[in-house]
Structure 1
Amino acid sequence: MNINFRLKSLVILVFTSCALFAQTPEKQVGDLPLDPAVRTGKLPNGFTYYIRHNEEPKNRVIFYLANKVGSVLENEDQRGLAHFMEHMNFNGTKHFPHNELVNYLQKEGVRFGADINAYTSFDETVYQLPLPSDDPEVLKNGIEIMRDWAQEATLDPVEIDKERGVVLEEKRLGKGSAERMRRQFWPQLLNNSRYSVRIPIGLDTVLDNFKRPTIASFYHDWYRPDLQALIIVGDVNVDQIEQIVKAKFSDLKNPQQERVRTKYSIELTGRNQFMEVTDKEMASTTAEIIIKHKTGPVTTEAEYREAIVKELFNSMMRARYGELSRQADPPFIQGGTGIEDFLGGLDMFDASVVAKPNELEVGLKSVWREVERVKRFGFTATELERVKESYFNNLEYMLRAKGKTNSQAYVSEYLNNFLKNEAAPGIDVEYKMVKAMLPTITLADMNKLVETYVRNDNKDILILGQDKDKATLPSETTVNEWLKAVDAEDLKPYSDDVSSKPLLINNPVPGKITKEEKNSELNITTITLSNGIKVLLKPTDFKNDEIMFSAFSAGGTSLYSDADFRSAANAGGMIHSFGAGNYNTTELDKYLSGKQLGVQPFISERTQGITGVSIPKNLEIAFQLLYAYLTEPRKDEIQFNNIIKRTKAGLANRGNNPNIVFRDSIAAIMSGYDIRHMPPTVAMVDQIDLNKICSIYKERFADASGMTFIFVGNIDTVTIKPLLEKYIASLPSTNSHQQAKDLAIHTPKGRIEKTIYKGSEPRATVELYFTGDLDSSAQVKYQLDALKEVLEIRLLERLREDESGVYSPSAYASTDKYPTPHYTFGVGFGCAPQNVDKLIASALDEIAKLKTEGPPVVNIDKYKAEKQRTHEINIKTNDWWFGYLNDQLQDNNPLNQVNDYKANMANITQESLKETAQKYLSGKNYIKLVLMPENKN
């Protein structure tokens, strides 16, 4: 469960009777038609449903219950209860009292939080429930759960009191500098509208003290069929499901004295506003210019065309700021503009900058200068054609992917259709519209858009900074003078320089395929090339238009001294940012625009290699780019200096953020304070040397003979072979076969306890780690994975449900085979500072029970059910096979271990987990790390 709002430069935006015959929802004149592939209807009581058959994934279905009910509907004494009501639907309904709902679903392989979830925002509350669809009983119960959520919550006073602590802990997690500053500028930014006083998380005074009748009143008033919709997408029989929905939901009642569901909005006043807010934990100085604008849902073809124009505008502006950020001396850390959704019937033109220290004027002027340039001169024809091609190609990709589209994508469309009246015509209609509309979109449309959105009214200027800089932050008059100065500058039109050179400087000299082996069981072909490279091909039909690939060989940064480590560790990312072959970064961005591929070289601690993804149509270009990165890397001093300067600027106030300080401390302690794992500093950045980066990069890729390539996806094994010979068999080979070094960086042994004091909010973060040497067999990994899952179930039951002390406790386990087999098993949670010791004791008590009693069998069964359901889905995805093959090959493990899944799961028992806990959670090597506020004492 979460409250659905996000921050952009700390500006919060929200995403944002008994008759058995259904009526078709009313269709307004001019509306785009709803996708005919979805069955939809409205019952006489106003309840709406959407049902669609979709087999991605097979034997699965997703249920969503959408309610046009959010925090804006709360009375003053109900502030926070829309969100609290969301919680209560998981804590007792007619057919699943108390916590039986979560318990039942876990037994069916559904994870609380990861699968079953919900969110509450200002205008809506949405519940989600993914289930297996091949079990009629589970399917029937899934619909029963949705019916209970719609109008059958029990609201047990005992459960309400237990949930208060959970909700308050969820609220605690959101506290910090962002939330403190938001409280100050939010009312003014929202023109003191209803939204400014109805933050979904609510007020402590209400959450702590409300009684059952208050929340029951909210539930009775607003959880009603005329404000609800059920969305069902998955591998189901639509006719059968529709009849069940009609029978189950037609008897939902609307209140006799029905309250009007007011549609709240933010009224535009026409005035301009200036806000300046500081906080001691703010890590940077930012400025944001927000020009608000009335908008509405996309329901007609004309509105759809306007939405495309906005997307094209945003793409062109992103490209321009991308170029600006790559200057020798970048004017900001981050900067950009765009037209985005806002809140309350508004969207906005937003120009924002994260300034370098003491350079707010330079940063803001640079961002606004590009706005002014577009106002005066518009865009170029080549810019527009490039983004139009990219937009169309993306839509074409979606059309080709039809039939392999995940159910979640359809659910999102129907959610927006119901909650926001957004059109959902389906990919076929959209493709035809876009194909007809794109040629008609002109530079004049872009100019008109700029005139509409970049205005001098309804403009808010927001400056956010650190307390220590408060005296030097600019006034409203000063900022307006900066903007006027830019408006008066003698600007030149943007020049869209496009290279016509080929990507590669030199054509590869092809090699040969010397050997080919087929593993029929796994459908994997292993090819050996004349330069010694091995290539594994795993063709799949999981997606219509996706090929994932990677390559790795041994070595990495482990082969370099501490003095050269920073250069080695940054070589992969730096070289990637310089471009490749004949193209610098800007030229390469333009060349790749409209093409659907990505390639990224890397150098990690023990390996170096490259990873990427492409559609079949663009695969040869992806091969060319791969070849260019490995054999024709560029050296770009301007871009290097740019990155170094921006990195240093970003480090200036890193220590202000409590969470960053804590994470940095964890990394240092867990590595035994090894220099390679210490928090980044300006001195460390100064160690990065351009010449060393280039030489190290070339050294790491000078010998491809030890490389292994993996390709997974929609591969044509015939047409890919000439590409392998041309672009991969041609890579240089010296047969040096270097191996990575053991740097002897180990988690310290023994018991370590450390408390870090940072931050002013009354919140604590706890991390507990058990570490040590590992028996690296696959069976042990399964046992550790099961152990952390059954422990997490108990932590959820005890720390959250029984003790109401945390919101979302977690357990995790990681294993590494090299350089020496070792493991890390952890527990983490956030809580009130005064509860740290008590909750740690509870967590350790649950671990002790694992060692003395083993986990409850019911929790093992829950783990196996969830794992089995997840495995059934994962094994039919490119992502899973891609990750699996990479892991197995890098760890030198047999590829056929996937066939041992059932045996490994069968070996997980109460006794085996008890023994695993005794061995790996002995406490011999135990690290307790706690983040506490500075004002604890």
Structure 2
Amino acid sequence: MEQRTFTAPLFAPLSAVGRFGVMLWAGFFLFLIGFSSPLYSGGIREVREPEIEGVSPLSDTPLPEDPLLLQGNLPNGLSYYIRRNARPENRAELRLAVKAGSVLEEEDQQGLAHFVEHMAFNGTARFPKNSLVNWLESIGMRFGPETNAYTSFDETVYQLEVPLDKPEILDIALDILVDWARAITFAPEEIEKERGVILEEWRLGREASSRVRDTQYPLLWKGSRYAERLPIGKPEVIRNAPPERLRRFYTDWYRPELMAIVAVGDFHPAEVERRIREKFSWESSSQPKSLPVFPVPDHGATLISIATDPELPYSSVGIYLKQDPRVPETFAQYRNELVGELFFSILNTRFSDISRKQGSPFLFAGAGKAHPIRPKQLLYVSASAEEGGIKRALEGILAELRRIQLYGVSTQEVERAKADIQRQAEQRAKEQHTLSSASFVRSYVEAYLKGTPIMGPEYAFRVIRHLLKDIQPPEVAQWAKPFLEPANRVLLVSAPEKEAPHLPSEEELRALLAEAARATPASYQEEPAITSLIEAGTLKREGKLERTGGNVADRYGAIEWKLENGARVVLKPTEFKADEILFSAFSLGGTSLAEDEDFLSATFAPDIVEQSGLLNYSSTQIEKYLRGKLISLSPSIDEVALRFNGSASRKDLDTFFQLLYLYLTSPRYDEEAVQRYLDQVRTSLRKQENSPEERYAWMIQETLKGGHPRSLPLNSERLSRVDPKKAYAFYRAHVSRPDTFTFVFVGSVKPEELEPYLRRYLAAIPVLQAPEKPAADREKDTGPAAQTPYRTVAERVGAPIDRGVRFRTEPIQKTLKAGKEPKSLVTLYFTGSWDWSLKEMSYLNLLEDYLDIRLREVIREDKGGTYGVNVSITPRRAPVPEYSIEISFGTDPTRVGELLGILQEELARLKRTPPLETEVAKVREQRLRLVERGRKENGFYRYFLTQELYYQEVDRVLGRTSKREGGNGQSSGHSPLPGTLFDLWEETARSVTPQILQERIRRYFDESRMLQFTLEPEIPAKRQEVRPIRP
């Protein structure tokens, strides 16, 4: 349950966001998604093949509609959208969409639209109190991922996912939707309990970004009710609103003519339609209120807001254009939307190129379109600035807009963007029979609320392919012009308070905007395009391979090869998706191979390579070459392994292997790109020092492993110790040992199709293929000579080294006083060593699921003390078996002691008295449902296969024996054991008992080793006001 706000991303390249959670891009708050009216109200219609390719792209011909969608209206006005879809099997996705959000609230109702949504889970006519959630959990559905809701300005949407293996489940699920639509009970005692939960949700959202939003919203939506109706509402209303006020909002706006039922799943649509007609055909109110419209006034001059906050971790500037919604209904209108998509794609590519260069005017920048409220859509261009660099950042984004206005965009840029859009549509059409039900549900809800077209994957691809053909560069460039004109334009600036003296004034910003519209920047120059990653004929020799089989592979129905160079490859062919190949790889060693003085450099090794590029190509050139191809591939590193993860389509498999080959043989070092990247990280780290939450996380991290130098949080000072040349050399050393790699492929590829790629690209890679010091003629292309003993690291690859990093086991209590908002964060850790086994890992996962449910009930539902309790159990295998258990929640500072006492008493009670069987049954059913679904998904197979192969290799190199048994079970290696991790998860789910969970609570929750961390507001705990430093 949530109130829907989201941040507009700045389209930073994925590779620029480091493993350390460093925020290297910053968006400006693009506000709540809003929606519009229904697209179609026709009932069952005759399916006729539409004319597409022969329609003029500029015609007013209506767009074709999805022939597999059953759509209609009941006499009372309720709409419905129904489609059969068998992914996942025996499941249904259900939604109740209501055109009632916070904008409809009266002055004394602010926050009650969201409050009503919460009460839907706390008592209805058929499901009193919390019995609704209990029933859903009893059939294996999880509260949050599969049962949830959100409230925005213009709508409230309820979500259910249910299994269909029992015929009564769908009927009961539809009854839940009926109750949500007309029979929420609003029991006074449940309202009182839920007040605390919603206030904690409000408290959780109180941070610098929300304070800035609160001060700038009134300007963005100036003269409109939307400026005064944030969905979270006002705390005083939430605290004091009587039940009848909630009922009044519910009665006024929860009406069938403002609702839609969306049902997609493995069922017969006609039967579901019959049930909907039976259950939802009640009479509407005799005197319904008309749905009001709250317009946003136009304005001729640019509106400007400048706000600062002492805790804001970034500086940003954004240009926002307010427009009437343009919902495409015809070919011509949809074509115009595609022109806009091409424009934003090209602009974002240019921003990405600029941000990677030394001297870039901004850290990151991005552009796009959003529909946050019903009466307006937003076009936006925004940038994250260096410290003191707001003016330069604004000049940078304006210069690019002006450049496009003056010189246009190139045919090459347009064709790349076209290829990207068309390929994504093509892939969706190819996968239309294996797409998830959730993806169809999202589009149907959007169609009802926004009026967006519902063409279906096949028709959408054909329409997009047809309309893209004749779009020319001059049309695309025209989209830049409105950003340089003042009408309905809003300029929003936000920055940390310490930067206030350096911020431009409103007058300076106006002058800058005016100058940009007259400027004549130089034309755009881009690097030469790549025509291929590896020229034909470059690889002279193919390597050898042999099918070897293996216990792990055999148990998963997979094929295993041993390559000539010693590498291991495992393939699990599947038919779950028509065209999806998932990939992972690992080589043991990781950062443990680096000495303490080189550890930080080693952690940056994959990032340095990703920023630099491959062979003689920059990362920018490679990204552009991959446009229009469905390929992802990126390296990462942790304490024990260097890893790769990626995916590809069958069509792009050759290019994928070329990319993988270059990652393994030809990493590049680009001094300019690397230094720019490190500057971005450094700036972000400095700004994060303003954030109380980041400082709190740093305090925990530096304590959790006893202050070991390899486990300290990254900050500006530690970043200065990173030697990028050592990082590059470390990466080269690690990938120089293909004999230590295990490669895993899962998906729609056959072994005979994969083998030619294995021979050509992987099997012939030599071991230790690079010299200790790159030759002089290679220096220019690939980087500096190694700054660490290359061969020493290379020879260590294949086995992690125990560097003595351990979880702290001595008890400690630490408190950080930071932040102005009246909120606290509480985090508990329990750590220690454990007797590792796959079975015990599975039981610990079940324990985590149980505690998530139980602590939510005790602390959130019963006490109203928090919005949510997070439980995370992390068992690790190497270099030594250790575990950590984290329990965390946010709350009112005055309730920290009370809730901590309740939590500790609950853990103590569970040590004395085992959980109830009904509680364990929920966890059992949820796990069985997860396994049932996972057996039909490539992602689960990739994860489980990789995990088993990884543990097998760890045991081999460390001279240990892997165990599938837990507790008193017999230790035995992988080879004689049948079954997969799917089977083990199912086995432990069926065998788990209250006593098994109780025994593990006793074993792992040792309060004599408890680590307790608390974030408290500064004293006095006075609410910090955002400073709108200029009107």
Measured against the shorter chain, the TM-score band is over 0.9
Q: Give the drift of 1:508.
A: 5.6
- Residue by residue, what CA displacement relative to the aligned partner does 1:130-180 show, whole Å, maximum 9, x if unpaired? 000121111111111111111011111111111111111111111011111
2:464 and 2:362 mapped to 1: Cα distance? Answer: 36
* Equivalent of 2:31 in 13, 23, 26: 13
* Equivalent of 1:362 in 389, 392, 395: 392
What code does the residue aligned with 1:7 have? Answer: T
Q: Which residue of 2 aligns with 1:19?
A: none
Give the TM-score normalised by the residue count of structure 1.
0.96
- Label 1:650 to 1:521 Cα distance change in 2 as closer, same or farther (>3 A): closer
Taking the TM superposition and a 5 Å limit, the aligned residue runs for 1:724-743 are 724-734=758-768, 736=795, 738-743=798-803
- Residue by residue, what CA displacement relative to the aligned partner does 1:685-718 show, whole Å, maximum 9, x if unpaired? 2222232122211111111112111111111211
2:852 and 2:681 mapped to 1: Cα distance? Answer: 38
1:472 and 1:493 mapped to 2: Cα distance? Answer: 30
Taking the TM superposition and a 5 Å limit, the aligned residue runs for 1:117-266 are 117-251=148-282, 253-266=283-296
Q: Give the drift of 1:531.
A: 0.8
1:555 is aligned to 2:589: yes
CA contact (8 A) 1:13 1:341 kept: no
Q: CA RMSD in A?
A: 1.9
Taking the TM superposition and a 5 Å limit, the aligned residue runs for 1:250-289 are 250-251=281-282, 253-289=283-319
- Label 1:428 to 1:903 Cα distance change in 2 as closer, same or farther (>3 A): closer
1:123 and 1:816 mapped to 2: Cα distance? Answer: 46
* Equivalent of 1:541 in 575, 578, 584: 575
* Equivalent of 2:984 in 891, 897, 900: 900
1:362 and 1:912 mapped to 2: Cα distance? Answer: 61
Name the stretch that deviates more: 224-233 or 592-601. 592-601
1:48 and 1:647 mapped to 2: Cα distance? Answer: 50
CA contact (8 A) 1:502 1:582 kept: no
CA contact (8 A) 1:31 1:423 kept: no
* Equivalent of 1:845 in 898, 905, 913: 905
1:517 is aligned to 2:517: no
Structure 2 residue runs of 5 or longer lacking an equivalent are 9-26, 35-40, 47-59, 769-793, 953-961, 963-973, 1022-1031
> Secondary structure of 1:789's match?
helix
> Secondary structure of 2:347's match?
helix
- Residue by residue, what CA displacement relative to the aligned partner does 1:610-632 show, whole Å, maximum 9, x if unpaired? 22211011111111111111111
1:338 and 1:91 mapped to 2: Cα distance? Answer: 39
CA contact (8 A) 1:610 1:626 kept: no
What code does the residue aligned with 1:24 have? Answer: G
Q: Give the drift of 1:827.
A: 1.2
Count of residues paired in the alignment: 930
Q: Give the drift of 1:240.
A: 1.4
Taking the TM superposition and a 5 Å limit, the aligned residue runs for 1:305-344 are 305-344=335-374
2:735 and 2:262 mapped to 1: Cα distance? Answer: 51
2:806 and 2:316 mapped to 1: Cα distance? Answer: 40
Q: Which residue of 2 aligns with 1:403?
A: 433
Name the stretch that deviates more: 344-353 or 100-109. 344-353
Structure 1 residue runs of 5 or longer lacking an equivalent are 17-21
Q: Which residue of 1 aligns with 2:947?
A: 887
CA contact (8 A) 2:581 2:648 kept: yes
Q: Which residue of 2 aligns with 1:596?
A: 630
1:24 is aligned to 2:43: yes
1:499 is aligned to 2:529: yes
Taking the TM superposition and a 5 Å limit, the aligned residue runs for 1:365-376 are 365-376=395-406
1:38 is aligned to 2:69: yes
* Equivalent of 1:691 in 725, 728, 741: 725
- Residue by residue, what CA displacement relative to the aligned partner does 1:65-114 show, whole Å, maximum 9, x if unpaired? 01011111111111111110001111111110111111111111111122
> Secondary structure of 1:931's match?
strand
- Label 1:241 to 1:348 Cα distance change in 2 as closer, same or farther (>3 A): closer
2:503 and 2:124 mapped to 1: Cα distance? Answer: 54
- Residue by residue, what CA displacement relative to the aligned partner does 1:209-266 show, whole Å, maximum 9, x if unpaired? 1112111111111111111111110011212111111111112x32222111113332
2:543 and 2:322 mapped to 1: Cα distance? Answer: 59
What code does the residue aligned with 2:651 have? Answer: K
1:57 is aligned to 2:140: no
Q: Which residue of 2 aligns with 1:98?
A: 129
> Secondary structure of 1:112's match?
coil
Give the TM-score normalised by the residue count of structure 2.
0.88
Q: Give the drift of 1:876.
A: 1.2
* Equivalent of 1:783 in 843, 856, 871: 843
Taking the TM superposition and a 5 Å limit, the aligned residue runs for 1:629-644 are 629-644=663-678
1:589 and 1:259 mapped to 2: Cα distance? Answer: 53
Q: Which residue of 1 aligns with 2:143?
A: 112
- Residue by residue, what CA displacement relative to the aligned partner does 1:268-320 show, whole Å, maximum 9, x if unpaired? 12232111111111122222222222223222222211111111111100111
Q: Percent identity?
A: 32
> Secondary structure of 1:677's match?
coil
Q: Give the drift of 1:14.
A: 1.9
1:798 is aligned to 2:858: yes
* Equivalent of 2:934 in 861, 865, 874: 874
* Equivalent of 1:756 in 788, 793, 816: 816
Name the stretch that deviates more: 483-492 or 219-228. 483-492
Q: Which residue of 2 aligns with 1:931?
A: 1015
2:191 and 2:246 mapped to 1: Cα distance? Answer: 10
CA contact (8 A) 2:931 2:985 kept: no
1:365 and 1:582 mapped to 2: Cα distance? Answer: 32
2:69 and 2:484 mapped to 1: Cα distance? Answer: 39
What code does the residue aligned with 1:618 have? Answer: D
Taking the TM superposition and a 5 Å limit, the aligned residue runs for 1:314-463 are 314-452=344-482, 454-463=484-493
CA contact (8 A) 1:349 1:454 kept: no
Q: Which residue of 1 aligns with 2:598?
A: 564
1:586 and 1:664 mapped to 2: Cα distance? Answer: 33
Q: Give the drift of 1:906.
A: 3.0
1:172 and 1:308 mapped to 2: Cα distance? Answer: 41
- Label 1:488 to 1:267 Cα distance change in 2 as closer, same or farther (>3 A): closer
What code does the residue aligned with 2:428 have? Answer: M
1:678 is aligned to 2:712: yes
1:25 and 1:123 mapped to 2: Cα distance? Answer: 28
1:333 and 1:731 mapped to 2: Cα distance? Answer: 38
1:243 and 1:293 mapped to 2: Cα distance? Answer: 41
1:23 and 1:326 mapped to 2: Cα distance? Answer: 51
1:499 and 1:71 mapped to 2: Cα distance? Answer: 49
2:539 and 2:470 mapped to 1: Cα distance? Answer: 40
1:464 and 1:476 mapped to 2: Cα distance? Answer: 13
1:733 and 1:277 mapped to 2: Cα distance? Answer: 57
